[in-house]
Amino acid sequence: MITLEGITKVYRAGEVDVPALKGISLHIPEGEFVAIMGPSGSGKSTLMNLIGCLDQPSSGRYILDGYDVSALSDDQLAWIRNRKIGFVFQSFNLIPRASAIHNVEMPLIYAGDNRQRHERALAALGSVGLLDRAEHLPNELSGGQQQRVAVARALVTDPAILLADEPTGNLDTESSLEIMRLLRDLNQQGRTIVLITHESDIAAFARRVVRLRDGVIVSDERRPEINEMFSGNAGVTPA
Amino acid sequence: MSVLEGLRLALNGLLANRLRSSLTMLGILIGVSAVILLVGVGNGASVAVQQQIQSLGSNLLTVFPSNARSAGGVQQGFGTGSSLTLDDVKAIANKQTSPDVVTAIPSAGGRAQLTYGNQNWNSSLTGTTQDFPSVRNYSLSSGQFFTSGDVDASSKVAVIGQTVVTNLFAGQDPIGQVVKINRQSFRVIGVFAPKGSSGGFNNQDDIVVVPITSAWNYLLGGRGRNVQQIYVEATSADATSAANAEVTQVLLDRHHISDPTLADFQILSQQDVLNSASQTTGVLTLMLGAIAGISLVVGGIGIMNIMLVTVTERTREIGIRKAIGARRQDILVQFLIESMFLSGLGGALGIVVGFGLARVLPLAVSALPTPVISTPSVFLAFGISVGIGLFFGLYPANRAARLRPIEALRYE
């Protein structure tokens, strides 16, 4: 599904080259739930931008769902983002003037895919349990609800991977659990999820944890089972 | 992304900032209504001038003597020569040599002081012959015009215009009354029907007309039997150039001049006057339009300004849209539609306001010629306003489209 080979990324800060990633090789097969962890400055945001096709590597190869995306034009990258990637951001990033349903429809609009657009958006909203909030504006929704709308928007194009960048960073514990359970359920339905976080209890929802430090992978471990920390709530589907 | 979708997006964006959108639109509104109104005023002036000139008779030719040359060859003022005679007039009116001429009349005159009772009036005096009313498109409201007999006998009779009647007779019937023209007694035998034209041009109703022989004998002393102008009536407006050629030939023959460039007379057709007047008013219209156009450009700059602000404000939104798959052109189109919608709607409202002002303004300012709004100018103004939205929206929209998604997403 995702294959990174010797990915480097160098930023220029004035006269100095600052290497953010120093040769990352990583393979994420379909259906995996992987958390990328690391302290700030470790390069995890840079990696997330590269995986999300928001930026391009300085060198190395990146294969996403069979597409070599390391050397695509801006518009081709836009197409990949639209069809292959569903984003969930820390700050929700909903369009404030658009209703929940319209926010969810938006990727379909840019895909030029008008077949049952409204129905598909409604279905996506339904899958995150927010059908009754379809016509609400983002600022009329709670943080957790906004993030669920964002998840619905990420899912509506049926992307190859769901890329969640600190999805619980702006949420309280209750809403965080809600979102993480939602992601876990989606993964159990077969969705590939890449989660970027610096909180180990959030990373604990993932089945594989990749740790970054100073632009290199320092550990890559699989867990046999979901962490028991939230066992009291485990198995409860979000309403 | 479909155009409909783009329109919905644009409308959504504009409604989010109602006050700002309407103020921006106001700039274009003022520009477009100014263009429509001012071009309308220019056209109105043009129509008014043309009507005035046509009321003189569009089939009219005027023959002037050439500029007199003094012994040293110095040119003097226009029409100062004295080369035209009454016999010239008769020769021009000859059907054999000039078939396209209906008739010709001489004219000699100047300013004249009229008195009746204790009333005084200074008017324009014309000495002419019996065909004056038909050649100069005058009709009589009462009394009659003088006859060829009056011309032959130098009768002291006069026909006066409505303005003179109003100023001298104050409600009295002037027919049969005796007025003093430059201290000579003349009997009023007719009154012209008003021509109705007023404004910047000579008042055609402020005239007193007498037989040319009487004018020579009693009123224009010292200037000899000199014809200042000959008015020639052609058979139709289309025949004026043929008549022009015939009159030229007749006069050249009579004055024994073989080289037409040395002619001692000049012929001006009403068509020439009309053409030069339309040229002048055309320049006027163009100038007014250009001035109004400046305000349209200023409105366009306002749009550009506000679109730049909008793009900056919505940097994050642009980042989000790009992250979920908007291509450059999607963003470009979104902002272009927005700016064109602003300017287009402003333009449409400007047309309405322009029409309204064109109706109302002449009622308030009577000196203003009635604006004549041409349909092309309306479409042009609307087209230009949409074009301005396109032109001034292009830079901000392009700036939005070029934003890099990661930077745009990071923008606070």
DSSP per-residue letters across A29-47: -TT-EEEEE--TTSSHHHH
- The answer to whether position A109 is within a domain reads yes
Compute the count of residue pairs across chains A and B with CB atoms less than 8 Å apart: 61
- The minimum CA-CA distance between B301 and chain A, rounded to whole Å, is 26
Tell me what pLDDT residue A148 has: 94
Q: Taking a C-beta distance cutoff of 8 angstroms, is the pair A103, A76 a contact? A: no
Q: Which carries the bigger pLDDT value, residue B310 or residue B261?
A: B310
Q: Do A106 and B322 lie within an 8 Å CB cutoff?
A: no
Mutate: best of A46, A83, A103, A109, partner B, most B CBs <10 A? A109
* E strands, B217-298, in order: 229-234, 265-269
Question: How large is the ipTM?
Answer: 0.89
Q: Which member of B12, B324, B326 has the closest CB to residue A97?
A: B12
Q: Taking a C-beta distance cutoff of 8 angstroms, is the pair B32, B381 a contact? A: yes
Average of pLDDT values for B372-380? 84
- The answer to whether position A127 is within a domain reads yes
Q: What pTM was computed for the model?
A: 0.71
User: pLDDT digit string (tens) for A129-172?
Assistant: 999 999 999 999 999 999 999 999 999 999 989 999 999 988 99
B134 falls in which pLDDT band (50, 70, 90)? confident
Please name the residue that has the structure tokens 């008017």.
B123
Q: Do A75 and B327 lie within an 8 Å CB cutoff?
A: yes
The token duo for A174 is: 């209750």
Q: Do B12 and A98 lie within an 8 Å CB cutoff?
A: yes
Q: Give A110's contacts in chain B (Cβ within 8 Å).
A: 1, 321, 324-327, 330
Q: Percent of chain A, pLDDT > 70?
A: 93
Average of pLDDT values for B221-228? 75
Tell me what pLDDT residue B93 has: 87
Tell me what pLDDT residue B239 has: 85
Q: Domain tally for chain A? A: 1
Looking at A28-42, A158-172, B294-308, B364-378, which range is the least confident one? B364-378
Given a cut of 60, whether residue B74 has pLDDT beyond it is no
Q: Which member of A52, A82, A93 has the closest CB to residue B320?
A: A93
In chain B, which residue's Cα lies nearest the Cα of A80? B325
Identify how many contiguous H helices and E strands chain A contains and give both numbers: 7, 10
- The answer to whether position A21 is within a domain reads no
In chain B, which residue's Cα lies nearest the Cα of A53? B323
Q: What is the CA radius of gyration of chain B?
A: 33
* Angle, vertex CA B361, rays to CA B356 and CA B364, nearest 5: 140
Tell me what pLDDT residue B82 has: 67
Tell me what pLDDT residue B76 has: 56
Q: Do A109 and B327 lie within an 8 Å CB cutoff?
A: no
Q: Do B324 and A81 lie within an 8 Å CB cutoff?
A: yes
Q: Do B325 and A153 lie within an 8 Å CB cutoff?
A: no
Residues in chain A with pLDDT values less than 50: 227-239
Q: Do B5 and A109 lie within an 8 Å CB cutoff?
A: yes
B352 falls in which pLDDT band (50, 70, 90)? very high
- The answer to whether position A63 is within a domain reads no
Residue B12: how many CB atoms within 10 A of its CB? 14
Average of pLDDT values for B152-167? 92
Q: State the Cα–Cα distance between residues A38 and A47, nearest whole angstrom.
A: 11
Average of pLDDT values for B102-109? 90
Which residue range forms the structural domain that includes residue A37? 30-53+72-225
User: pLDDT digit string (tens) for B244-286?
Assistant: 889 988 988 888 888 887 788 888 887 777 888 888 888 988 8
Mutate: best of A46, A95, A155, partner B, most B CBs <10 A? A95
> How many residues are recorded in chain B?
412
- The minimum CA-CA distance between B330 and chain A, rounded to whole Å, is 8
Chain A residues with at least one Cβ partner in B under 8 Å: 49, 52, 54-55, 74-75, 78-79, 81-83, 87, 89, 93-98, 106-107, 109-112, 114, 153, 157
- The minimum CA-CA distance between A237 and chain B, rounded to whole Å, is 27
- The answer to whether position A59 is within a domain reads no
Q: Which member of A55, A78, A97 has the closest CB to residue B325?
A: A78
Q: Find the CATH number of the domain harbouring A204.
A: 3.40.50.300
Tell me what pLDDT residue B200 has: 46
